[in-house]
Structure 1
Amino acid sequence: MIQNVSTVKEAWDILTRSHAGGDKMKKVKLQTLRYQYELLQMEETDKVSEYFNKVLTITNQMKGCGDSITVDDY
């Protein structure tokens, strides 16, 4: 994307524009993950370890997007 630009400013502007959508996508993904977290409940057939893995999976995905769940959140 930036190999043919002649100034650092041009390269920076192109990179900024191309990654701006990424922030919006992260917000949407975080909203989805928070919703999944709120709806998460242990099924009768789940083992404790399976449920724990579900919780860990969602929280790790949230951390990957720059957010996390704390006890104070809920």
Structure 2
Amino acid sequence: MVFLGDIAFILDVLLLAAGLIVYHWATQEKSQLLKWVAWGMIIIGILAVICTTYYWMSYYQAGVFEVHNMMPHNKL
């Protein structure tokens, strides 16, 4: 479960980084449309990072990550 939160956080940061790269490229190309797209990616990336961090911390506080064995034992 904890790895799913980590993967989501990494994808959020990648979206934010991609938005910054697109914004840099848009300023060099002087493209208004690309700037709008880049700002959308940056804002969504920031909101996604905040959301993922909030839920990851709330699950951590609730003890959801205290799972010691993910697979049930089949006793024959």
| Greater per-residue helix proportion | 2
TM-score where L is the length of structure 1: 0.42
TM-score where L is the length of structure 2: 0.41
Q: Relative contact order, CA 8 A, sep 6+: which one is greater?
A: 2
